[in-house]
Amino acid sequence: MSGVKGWCPGALRPMESGDGWVVRVKPRGAMLSRDQAQGITDAAERHGNGLIELTGRGNLQLRGVTPDSHAPLIADLRALDLIDPDIATETRRNVIVTPFGGDATDALVRDLETALAASALPLPAKFGFAVDTGPTPVLTRDPADIRIERAGSGLILRADGMGSGAALGSPQDAVALAGWFLERGGAIGGRGRMAALVARGIAPRADIAAPTAAASATPGPTPQGMLAGIEFGQVPPDTLRRLGRLGTLRLTPWRMMLVRGARHLPPMPGLILTADDPRLRLRACPGSPCCAHAHAATRPLARDLAALVPQGAVLHVSGCAKGCGWPRAADMTLTATPQGFDLIRHGCAHDVPALRGLHPDQLPKVL
């Protein structure tokens, strides 16, 4: 096993980064039990550099793993039931889950993951599923190719890119739709997304209107527990341990965790507990000195600029043009270069900048 540069990482196939290997763990059902929360934190400190990140797909990334520490790390994670049997199964099991579903959602996700594992479908690494079966939809803006949603009193299966879906009989239907995607030429050279196939005019049967998108979730109390934001998506080890002791954790793709059953959370390092916290508007990769590719420190600068970011807008500070911290467009992106910061408006870290080579002292004025 060796780390692969630029690969979409998993746990069994890590990716090389500036601070060592990145190991991405996909907890089953997007949930962590108390023992798993304690165990993964211990493993991150023992076998990596202790940095734990919550990704835009609700997975956990452990950083600073080495060629020597990878095998013992995987053994520890396997003992916690956090590892798939092989790389193919791990690659296929991309499922994001609403934190607001109940036991029926948990059972549905379990069955979907079991069916996916058994399917042997050679799906592209970025191909994924969204189980959005809570009282209102919350995942419509998050990346997924096949969506299970609530429509009226039943559930529908919807191909991403379509405005309607078909009645869901069982989770196996979602796997069948993934097979249909492959049969219809959706993946070429191991890459491809459902929305692109639909845009080519190739669409599955669909006769039930999809629900409309609901408002974004924000930190605070919910009927299912307390939703907590994670600053920059990086959760300090002791914070994860303490959260795990308070309840089962549901991981979301919004850099937030739901602590099931909790009615209150005490302040902890790295947690965002209120909807008006300006840090919710920030995105930033680890930057310098964590990543060898970074041209500048990112998170301290983002914190300094937070108060200047209007409500509802997103500021992304990236250590280089790769844009790992937010691989999407942001209202404002600052990309560090050897000559200073480039400012990109309404684009990604690698897009053409409106201004180049800015000194940090100039940034408050241009933002």
What residues contact residue 313 under an 8 Å CB cut-off, 6+ apart?
281, 331, 332
Shortest distance, position 285 Cβ to ligand SF4, whole Å: 3
The Cα 40–Cα 44 span in angstroms is 6
Indicate the residue among 14 and 247 with the shorter CB distance to ligand SF4. Answer: 14
Indicate the residue among 324 and 343 with the shorter CB distance to ligand SF4. Answer: 324
Indicate the residue among 158 and 316 with the shorter CB distance to ligand SF4. Answer: 316
The Cα 156–Cα 167 span in angstroms is 4
Q: Which residues bind ligand SF4 (CB under 6 A)?
A: 18, 285-287, 291, 293-294, 318-320, 322-324
Shortest distance, position 48 Cβ to ligand SF4, whole Å: 15
Query: What is the SS3 assignment for 89?
Result: helix
Shortest distance, position 291 Cβ to ligand SF4, whole Å: 3
Shortest distance, position 293 Cβ to ligand SF4, whole Å: 4
Q: Which among 221, 219, 244, 211 is positioned nearest to 41, based on CA atoms?
A: 244
The Cα 335–Cα 354 span in angstroms is 11
If one counts every other C-beta atom within 10 angstroms of the C-beta of residue 327, the result is 16
7, 34, 62, 73 from 66: Cα distances, Å: 16, 27, 11, 10
Indicate the residue among 100 and 232 with the shorter CB distance to ligand SF4. Answer: 232
Shortest distance, position 217 Cβ to ligand SF4, whole Å: 26
Closest residue to ligand SF4 in the complex (CB): 319
Indicate the residue among 9 and 134 with the shorter CB distance to ligand SF4. Answer: 9
Contact 176, 159 (CB under 8 A): no
Indicate the residue among 95 and 315 with the shorter CB distance to ligand SF4. Answer: 315
Shortest distance, position 327 Cβ to ligand SF4, whole Å: 9
